[in-house]
Amino acid sequence: MLRENRTRKGEERMETVRAVVLRGMGGPLNMEILRMEGPRDDEVLVSVVASGICHTDIDLCDDWDEETGPVVLGHEGAGIVEKTGGKVEGVVPGDRVVLSYQSCGLCPPCRAGRPFACLRFFEANFGFRRLDGSNALERSGVRGHFFGQSSFADRSLATERNLVKVPGDLHLEMLAPLGCGMQTGAGTVMNALAVRPGQGIAVFGTGAVGLAAVMAARIAGARPVVGVDVLPRRIALALELGATHGIDGRREDVRSRIGDIAGRGVHYVIDTTGDPGLARIAAAVLRPGGTAAFLAGTGAPASLPGGRKAVEIIQGNAVPQRFIPEMISWHRSGRFPFDRLVKFYDFGDIDRAVADAKRGDTIKPVLRWSGRGERKDS
Ligand SMILES: [Zn+2]
Ligand SMILES: [Zn+2]
């Protein structure tokens, strides 16, 4: 598996990587063999076992433009450390890791322990290059470093800032979605909103992020927990995973139903859909002083009436190295059964996985490399 070549420059080491490359709007997503620079001093080469597909990957695929050029997407990677750069201290080859979002590590929020508020967050995660402007996949004319990982590949270059060591007794491929989708939904409830027992919450959109929020709301003791969606199957799942009430936004009047359920309104609304119509409904179903959190990356409305707050939350205000182990401990105690959302696909079937996710047939597709089996006892 491990192939290295001396290049003309002599010192620079190149690795071979099998990756899913996006070269045009909407796809196709083709498997290609690329040449990737080996890990720099602060980097970690990870042998990818699995990667979740998140809606951000799908949206970028559909919004691709020529200027972006060919890219490798993927930002919910899980794998095994293969090589480390000279200055890496926290992990060694063989360690099992989950990859999360990237941050600069140097700006004031990063230094204050708030990497989710990194001043260079956009560049670090959506720049398709390192923060110094370089790109490890340059030799192949492809851009990587998406969320500091580009995990739709059999090898990924990460840094210590965006990887989290995980215990050896859990299925790595199952842990992949913790790095973005689960963290975003559950982190919003626990960190950003700090929901307390007995407070009411409505979650708009019960896909992966919304269901993570529903499960976290149950752990936090919220009541009522209202799940709103347009797919009956997902509403049913929300009810199984912790929602006290489910509303079908296509058949029922969301505003009056939440009024029936929560009287003076809910303390919190979490919108995972980015639908502007739902932003208006959020304002109407919040009690005065309540907060609506917008997670779809489309921003929050400038203001809401009556002392209600609108906030945009990035990555659930979570510090991955703290929050991912916390989600794992909930999972171990049976309170965060996110495995119920996952369906596995081979990396070669990524087009089918994306189509299933777009239709809502699969809530959290996870791609895996066949033959990179689990070492459950290691
Ligand atoms: Zn920063
Ligand atoms: Zn994501």
d(CA 111, CA 25): 38
What local confidence, expressed as pLDDT, does residue 245 receive?
A: 98
How much distance in Å is there from the Cα of 115 to the middle of ligand 1? 6
Q: From the CA of 123, how far away is ligand 1's center (Å)? A: 10
Residue carrying the six token digits 């936004």? 249
DSSP-assigned letter for residue 231: -
**Distance from the alpha carbon of residue 208 to the mean position of ligand 2, in angstroms:** 10
Nearest alpha carbon to residue 100 among 160, 44, 174: 160
- Ligand 1: centre distance to CA 87 (Å): 19
Model pLDDT for residues 296-336, shown as the tens digit of each residue: 988 888 878 888 999 999 999 999 999 999 999 999 999 99
Q: What is the SS3 assignment for 143?
A: strand
pLDDT of 276 reads 87
List the Cα angle 101/343/80 in 5-degree steps. Answer: 45
Alpha carbon of 373 to ligand 2 centroid (Å): 24
Residue 235 has pLDDT above 60, yes or no: yes
SS3 for 38? Answer: coil
325's tokens: 């182990």
C-alpha span between 279 and 304 (Å, rounded): 10
List Cβ neighbours of 371 (8 Å cut-off, separation of 6 or more).
none
Ligand at minimal distance from the CA of 149 is 2
**What per-residue confidence (pLDDT) applies to 301?**
84
Alpha carbon of 272 to ligand 1 centroid (Å): 25
For strands 29-37 and 13-22, give the pairing: antiparallel
What are the tens digits of pLDDT across the range 172-181? 999 999 999 9
- In sequence order, the β-bridge partners of residue 29 are 22
**Which ligand neighbours the alpha carbon of 162 most closely?**
1
22 vs 122, 163, 169, 192, 345, CA distance in Å? 20, 24, 34, 34, 18
What torsion do the CA atoms of 361, 330, 101, 151 make, to the nearest 10 degrees? -50
**pLDDT interval class at 337 (50, 70, 90):** very high
Gap from CA of 118 to ligand 1 centroid (Å): 4
Q: Span 357-371, mean pLDDT? A: 93
- Which 3 state secondary structure label does DSSP give 284? helix
Q: Which residues lie across from 164 on neighbouring strands?
A: 98
In tens, the pLDDT along 241-299 reads: 999 999 999 999 999 999 999 999 999 999 999 998 888 899 999 999 999 999 998 88
Q: Are 3 and 83 in contact (CB under 8 A)?
A: no
pLDDT for the residue 2? 45
Ligand nearest to the CA of 112: 1
- Report pLDDT digits (tens) over 89-109: 999 999 999 999 999 999 999
d(CA 300, ligand 1 centre) in Å: 22
pLDDT band of residue 371 (cuts 50, 70, 90) is low
**From ligand 2's centre to the CA of 281, what distance in Å?**
25
Q: Between residues 149 and 303, which one has the greater pLDDT?
A: 149
Q: In percent, how much of the chain has pLDDT > 70?
A: 95
Centre of ligand 2 from the C-alpha of residue 76, in Å: 7
pLDDT of 11 over the 50 cut: no
Alpha carbon 53 to its chain's center = 8
Ligand nearest to the CA of 107: 1
Q: Above 70 in pLDDT, residue 9?
A: no
Nearest Cα to Cα of residue 2 among 33, 47, 32: 47
**Nearest CA to 279 among 263, 303, 314?**
303
From the CA of 179, the nearest ligand is 2
| Distance (Å) from CA 180 to ligand 2 centroid | 5
Report d(CA 191, CA 251) in Å as an integer. 33
Give dist(CA 195, CA 31) in Å, integer. Answer: 43
| Ligand 1 centroid, distance to 89 Cα (angstroms) | 20
The CATH number, out of the four listed (3.40.50.720, 3.40.1110.10, 3.40.50.740, 3.40.190.10), of the domain defined by the range 184-315? 3.40.50.720
Nearest-ligand number for the alpha carbon of 115: 1
DSSP-assigned letters across all residues of 73-97: ----EEEEEEEE-TT--S--TT-EE
Per-domain boundaries in the chain: 4-165+337-368, 184-315
Q: What is the pairing mode between strands 201-204 and 77-84? A: unpaired
Residue 169 pLDDT more than 90? yes
Strands 43-52 and 29-37, by their bridges, are unpaired
Q: How far apart are CA 260 and CA 306, in angstroms?
A: 20
Output the pLDDT for position 12.
65
With cut-offs at 50, 70 and 90, classify the pLDDT of residue 5: very low
- Ligand 2 (ion): which residues have CB within 5 A? 54, 56, 180
Give the residue-averaged pLDDT of 114-133: 97
- Classify domain 4-165+337-368 at the CATH superfamily level: Medium-chain alcohol dehydrogenases, catalytic domain (3.90.180.10)
Average pLDDT along the chain: 93
**How far, in Å, are 55, 185, 278, 318, 337 from residue 355 at the CA level?**
12, 23, 25, 29, 24
Q: What single letter denotes the amino acid at residue 173?
A: E
Q: What is the pTM of this model?
A: 0.94
Going by C-alpha positions, the residue among 11, 177, 4 that lies closest to residue 82 is 4
Ligand 2 centroid–CA 6 distance in Å is 35
* Nearby residues for ligand 1 (ion, Cβ within 5 Å): 103-104, 107, 110, 118
- 184-315 matches 4-165+337-368 in CATH topology: no
